[in-house]
Chains A and B, each alone.
Chain A
Amino acid sequence: MVERCKACGFCVEFCPTKVLALSSAFNSKGYHPPHVVAPEKCSGCDLCGMYCPDFAIYGQRLPMVREEAPAGTVVANLEVGRES
Chain B
Amino acid sequence: MSILDVTNPVEPFLRTDRMPHIWCPGCGIGTTVNCFARALIESKIDLQSLALVSGIGCTGRVAGYVKLDSFHTTHGRAIPFATGLKLANPKLNVVVYSGDGDLSAIGGNHLIHAARRNIDLKVICVNNLIYAMTGGQTAPTTPGHAITSTSPYGTCEPAFNLPHLVEAAGAVYVARWTTFHVKQLARSIGEAFQKKGFSFIEVISPCPTLYQRRNKLGDGLDTMKYYKEKSKVKHGAPTSEVGLTMTGEIIVGKFVDRDRPDYQSLLHAQMVESLGECYVEPSETVCSCS
Query: CB–CB under 8 A between A and B in the complex?
Result: yes
B287 at the interface (CB under 8 A from A): no
Residue of B nearest to A54 (CB): B30
Asked if A50 contacts B182 (CB within 8 A), the reply is yes
Asked if B3 contacts A69 (CB within 8 A), the reply is yes
Chain B residues, Cβ within 8 Å of A64: 1
Chain B residues, Cβ within 8 Å of A60: 6
Asked if B3 contacts A50 (CB within 8 A), the reply is no
A47 at the interface (CB under 8 A from B): yes
Given A13-B225, A55-B34, A49 and B10 touching (CB < 8 A)?
yes
Complex Cα distance, B220 from A64, in Å, reads: 36
Given A3-B20, A4-B20, A63-B1, A53 and B29 touching (CB < 8 A)?
yes
Give the A-B contact count at a CB cut-off of 8 A.
Answer: 89
Asked if A8 contacts B220 (CB within 8 A), the reply is yes
Residue of B nearest to A9 (CB): B221
Chain A residues, Cβ within 8 Å of B79: none
Main secondary structure of the interface of A (DSSP, over half): loop
- Distance in angstroms from B222 CB to nearest chain A CB is 9
Asked if A6 contacts B25 (CB within 8 A), the reply is yes
Interface size on A, residues (CB 8 A): 31
Complex Cα distance, B183 from A63, in Å, reads: 24
Chain B residues, Cβ within 8 Å of A6: 24-26
Complex Cα distance, B6 from A57, in Å, reads: 11
A1-18, CB < 8 A from B: 1, 3-4, 6-10, 13-14
- Chosen A-B contacts, 21 in total, with CB atoms closer than 8 Å, are A4-B19, A8-B25, A14-B180, A47-B182, A49-B8, A50-B31, A50-B182, A50-B183, A50-B186, A51-B182, A52-B34, A53-B27, A53-B30, A54-B20, A54-B23, A55-B14, A55-B19, A57-B8, A69-B3, A78-B6, A80-B3
Instruction: Name A residues whose Cβ lies closer than 8 Å to a Cβ of B.
Output: 1, 3-4, 6-10, 13-14, 31, 46-47, 49-55, 57-58, 60, 62-64, 66, 69, 74, 78, 80
Excluding A6-B25, A14-B180, A55-B30, 7 further A-B contacts by CB distance (< 8 Å) are A4-B19, A50-B35, A52-B31, A53-B26, A53-B34, A60-B6, A62-B1
Instruction: Name B residues whose Cβ lies closer than 8 Å to a Cβ of A.
Output: 1, 3-4, 6-11, 14, 19-21, 23-31, 33-35, 38, 179-180, 182-183, 186, 219-221, 224-225
